[in-house]
Homo-oligomer: A and B are copies of this chain.
Amino acid sequence: MNINWAERMSCMENPAVKAILAITQRSDVISFAGGLPSARAFPVEGLAAAFAAVLNEQGAAALQYGISEGYEPLRAWVADRAGRQGIRCTAANVLIGNGSQQIIDLIARTMLDPGDYVALENPTYLSAVQVFKGAQARFLPIPLDQEGMRVDILAEQIKKVRPKFIYVNPTFQNPTGVTMTVERRRQLAQLAAEHEIPVIEDNPYGELRYSGEPLPAVKSFPGGDWVIYAGTVSKIVAPGLRVGWAIASETIVDKLATAKQLTDVLTNSLTQRALHRFVTEQELDQHIAMIVKQYRQQRDVMLAAMEEHFPSGVTWTVPDGGMFIWVTLPATINTNDLLPVAIEEEKVAYVPGTPFHADDSGYNTMRLNFSNSTPDLIRTGVARLGALFKRHLK
């Protein structure tokens, strides 16, 4: 069977990533490769109560079709909670999708024609890079430092090539863990408005802060009308529920809803209602505090173990939140080549840095996840990585 697939498929697929993820799944391996939240962090009982209550009280209404924008009370809750980050909006500015991955995809579909440019942090979220590649986009990769995306370099770049939009993950960035400073946020919003270029502010981890003070969203600054904010419950409630959202101008919400309607009509009605029940009637903040306490300990254990076991010449970020630490090795190490060795010899896995780079650079970097391993496994796994690095840096 020989099928003539669409051209975008050759851009969308990355066999290297598939192969990487496959080998990191071995059950005898300590994996820092995934991006999974801890199953211990899921509010199973609270959700059970919410689903039961919604089916009992709302019955058939919770099982019928609904509008593509999403369940209005849930949209209102999203709008209200966004106020904590300084975003002023109403339910009319919110569209519910199947996780924030769908929000990124809907934005790509509504905005990108083949050959269009996307500006993004280099490195950035791997699956966003793949979505944009699938939309046959080209890239303006912008470096980031400890203060986040280099907005000054972005400003220079967009004078030369105008991107269709700017994609950023400003808070506890995936993969680096870096958080964009207030000043850079302000500059980015201003730059977007000045050039009339939309910004996608992807913020799946923002509520998982272990140190430092919460920062206002990029969307909260002057010019924020040009920002489309993407949020999700995947990391604060559960990813299996597949609920995320966009917060944007009504014009943009309307376009996203058109695409959403043809994509899959609407997001699971029952889940939207049960989730609304859960977040409004149960103690969500208390639940998040429990997750934060757990992940903070895991982060601290990982950082301490890295101090203890990683040889000199290896550097890493110290994230204030999120799920990832970013490691940079001396230029003599290629983490793509090292991965099979790490798995075979040390039974430990990570994600090599290259696929996070839209320009395929970063061969001497890697991402480590600390949310989905116990402190004991973290200590053991980091010690193994340290031993591996020492052998290969000799």
A residues contacting B by CB (< 8 A) are: 1-9, 12-13, 36-37, 39-40, 42, 44, 47-48, 51-52, 55-56, 59-66, 97-99, 101-102, 105, 109-113, 116, 127, 130-131, 134, 164, 196, 198, 225-226, 238-242, 249, 251-252, 255, 258-259, 261-271
Contact = CB atoms under 8 A, between A and B. Distances in A.
Contacts of A252: 1, 3
- Copies per assembly: 2
A113 B4 CA distance: 10
B242 A1 contact: no
A271 B13 CA distance: 28
Given A240-B270, A241-B270, A263 B112 contact: no
B258 A105 contact: no
23 contacts: A1-B225, A3-B252, A5-B110, A6-B112, A6-B116, A8-B109, A8-B113, A9-B258, A39-B60, A39-B61, A40-B60, A42-B59, A44-B59, A48-B55, A63-B238, A64-B239, A101-B265, A134-B259, A239-B269, A241-B268, A241-B269, A241-B270, A271-B271
Contacts of A251: 1, 3
A166 to B, nearest CB: 13
Ranked nearest first, the 4 interchain pairs of A and B with the lowest CB-CB distance are A240-B269, A63-B238, A39-B60, A98-B264
A59 B251 CA distance: 40
Given A60-B40, A63-B241, A64-B240, A1 B249 contact: yes
A56 B1 CA distance: 44
A52 B4 CA distance: 45
Given A2-B196, A109-B8, A268-B240, A51 B60 contact: no
A226 B2 CA distance: 10
A262 B100 CA distance: 11
Contacts of A164: 4
